[in-house]
Amino acid sequence: MASIRIRARGELEAEVMRLLWAESQPVGASELAQKFPEPQPAYTTLMTALSRLERKGRVVRSGDSPRKIRFSPSRSDEEYASETMMTALGGAGDRRAALLAFAGNLNDEDLDLLRANFGKGPE
């Protein structure tokens, strides 16, 4: 019998990261599973996702025995978002056009925040 995909591809890893970022301390997989909305992922599915995130450098595993393994994010969500934006910008064929297109999609609140922190730029 074929399995039915409940979450979109990448959605489980994204939810794992959201839950880890909300924690102040490293958490175990069983504890993390309980924080999911229904349907909760199976323990083995969650461990697979955590192992993949660890290989990608997004989570850090700590603990010296299987029952004491804990996970925490390797970077804050803000650091990860910044890194993702810089990677996308670095991969653009025309960096200037990509940056202007991104800035053109910012709302007024975001633009005000940038202006307040970085000035209006060259005149």
Instruction: Give the model's pLDDT for residue 111.
Output: 87
Paired with 73 in beta bridges are 59
Domain containing 83 equals 77-118
Separation CA 99–CA 84 (nearest Å) = 13
3 within some domain: no
Instruction: Give the model's pLDDT for residue 82.
Output: 92
How do the pLDDT tens digits run along the chain, 123 residues long? Answer: 445 556 566 789 999 999 999 999 999 999 999 999 888 899 999 999 999 999 999 999 998 777 789 999 999 999 999 999 999 999 999 999 998 998 899 999 998 888 898 876 555
Instruction: Give the model's pLDDT for residue 7.
Output: 56
In the numeric block, the tokens 């660890």 are attached to: 54
* Same-domain status, 15 and 69: yes
Instruction: Give the model's pLDDT for residue 24.
Output: 93
Q: Are 58 and 74 in contact (CB under 8 A)?
A: yes
* Same-domain status, 100 and 64: no
Instruction: Give the model's pLDDT for residue 29.
Output: 92
52 within some domain: yes
5 within some domain: no
6 within some domain: no
Instruction: Give the model's pLDDT for residue 65.
Output: 75
Q: Are 73 and 31 in contact (CB under 8 A)?
A: no
| Tally of domains in the chain | 2
96 within some domain: yes
DSSP structure class, residue 105: T
Q: Are 69 and 29 in contact (CB under 8 A)?
A: yes
